[in-house]
Amino acid sequence: MIPNGQSVESVLASHGVKPTPQRMVIAEYLLNTLDHPTAEEVLDAVSGKLPVALSRATVYNTLNSLKEAGVVREVLAEPGKVRYDANLSNHHHFIDVKTGQIIDVPAEKVEKLGKLLDKKFKVHGVQVTFFGDLQQDESEQT
């Protein structure tokens, strides 16, 4: 989601991303949806919103640029495809196993991994993944 009041252009600028027309429409789309679209879905959604054609390669290039710049995060929810999330607030995800729908869950809701979500979320499993740096040393494992 786009920080209140900020323009798409200023979001890109503040992350050091040069605002080309293609990047603008892609970022605008991502910053204004609650969905977690794939590259293909981004392409479908924004092609036509631009006077010129928008190529698949550019969508992939742009998504990678936005990811590197920290404007979007990758979400690995299903095997074989990457989804993108421009919600920069601290949050997690709930995935409906039936439909594949992905719903943002604010970090505050994840205080205790017990009784944490709304009753409407029947949790079958939780997968917590930490990303970080491992200090190599001689002592034992986790």
Closest CB to DNA among residues 97, 123: 97
- The answer to whether 130 contacts its own copies (rule: CB under 8 A) is yes
Stretch that binds its own copies, among 20-28, 42-50, 52-60, 129-137 (CB under 8 A): 129-137
Q: Write out the two tokens for 72.
A: 């979007």
Closest CB to DNA among residues 53, 123: 53
What is the distance between the alpha carbons of residues 1 and 121, in angstroms, rounded to a whole number?
23
What is the distance between the alpha carbons of residues 66 and 2, in angstroms, rounded to a whole number?
14
Determine the residue type at 32.
Answer: N
What is the distance between the alpha carbons of residues 13 and 72, in angstroms, rounded to a whole number?
14
**Among 79, 122, 75, 127, residue whose Cα is nearest residue 102:** 75
Q: Write out the two tokens for 4.
A: 């209140």
Determine the residue type at 95.
Answer: I
Touching its own copies, residues 45-64 (CB under 8 A): none
Residue ranges binding DNA (CB under 7 A): 18, 20-23, 38-40, 52-58, 60-62, 64, 79-82
- The answer to whether 134 contacts its own copies (rule: CB under 8 A) is yes
Residues in contact with its own copies by the rule CB under 8 A: 34, 74-80, 82, 92-99, 101, 103-107, 109-111, 113, 117-135, 137, 139, 141-142
